[in-house]
Amino acid sequence: MRLGVVLPDGAPGADPRTVVALARHAEALGYAAVWLPDHPLPPAPYGPVYGGVFEPLTLLAHIAAVTDRITLGTSVLILPLRDPFLLAKQTATLERLAPGRVVLGVGVGWERSEFDALRVEFGDRGARTDEAIELIQRLHRTGGVGGADGTGFRGRFYAAESGVFEPRPTAPVPLMIGGTSDAALRRAARVGDMWQAFGLTPDEFTARKETLRTLAAGRRVRAGTVISLTDSDREIAALARYARRWEAAGAEQLGIHFGEPAGAVERMTEFMRRYGEEGARG
């Protein structure tokens, strides 16, 4: 199972330089990936936890410049709030900075007020997501908007008759679909390279993964989830045992939020040791 760190950029008073330093520590400790969330403008009652996150692609570009091996991903970016032409360019550029290390994790979003603020119809978010994915993947794979029939891209929400998309990424950026709804599973089965669950128990995850396998009909879609230090009453040993439960449940990747930046390096270090010990016990 590939272990990743969900970077704590939503912590009150978080400094982007601290987040970057944690990403470098994660790479040095042997974690496979670092992940950043996305919330443009959630309502005030959510406070700084959701409203205080940095723009993920900007911060990942800085992390790309100071790391060598670790995967850089969004977990997850609210796709219907982004212009797919611009997002395709941003992720292609990021992939050129860090070839083979970028994962575009996307979801449809859940907070209506963010959609109202960005003037996007909340009820269209699923359809917008599907259309945006199709467009981004076409741009990354072909270097333009033209389809197999020689026409441009003509969708309900996005359209272009012609255009050159260069430089393309060195390879299409892998797509991770976040969410546990039936629609999210169908989307992951159809176009995703990865699926990321949220809010499930290990047993529920196993069942949903089996549904995904059936829907994918032979397509390879890696499955994973995210967990937090608070899931184990803030005990690292318990968190390591919990991670092994997810591995037994069939998770192929696991993103871990280690809490606020202060002391995070020590918790990340201890977790790796404890996780190895749990594996040795079998």
Q: Could you give the CA distance from residue 231 to residue 148 in angstroms, rounded to a whole number?
A: 48
SS3 72: strand
39-43, 49-53, 84-88: least confident range: 49-53
Q: Is 73 within 8 Å of 176 (Cβ atoms)?
A: yes
- pLDDT reported for residue 148: 59
Q: Which of 153, 10, 180, 8 is nearest to 88 (CA)?
A: 153
- pLDDT reported for residue 10: 81
Q: What is the DSSP letter of 9?
A: T
Q: What is the DSSP letter of 263?
A: T
- pLDDT reported for residue 63: 99
Length of the chain: 282
28-37, 44-53, 127-136: least confident range: 44-53
Answer whether the bond into residue 12 is a cis peptide, omega within 30°: no
Q: Is 201 within 8 Å of 231 (Cβ atoms)?
A: no
> Sorting pLDDT into bands at 50, 70 and 90, what band is 231?
confident
pLDDT in tens, 186-198: 999 999 999 999 9
Task: Report percent pLDDT > 90 for the chain.
Answer: 83
Q: What is the DSSP letter of 174?
A: P
| Sequence letter at residue 152 | G
> Sorting pLDDT into bands at 50, 70 and 90, what band is 94?
very high
Cβ neighbours of residue 243 under 8 Å, at least 6 residues apart? 1, 3, 227, 254, 256, 271, 275, 278
Q: Which secondary structure element, helix H or strand E, spans residue 151, and what is its range?
A: none
Q: Which secondary structure element, helix H or strand E, spans residue 279, and what is its range?
A: helix 264-281
Whether the pTM exceeds 0.85: the reply is: yes
Write the CA distances from 202 to 3, 55, 197, 222, 242, integer angstroms: 16, 31, 10, 16, 9
- pLDDT reported for residue 265: 97
- Show the domains of the chain with their CATH numbers: 2-281 (3.20.20.30)
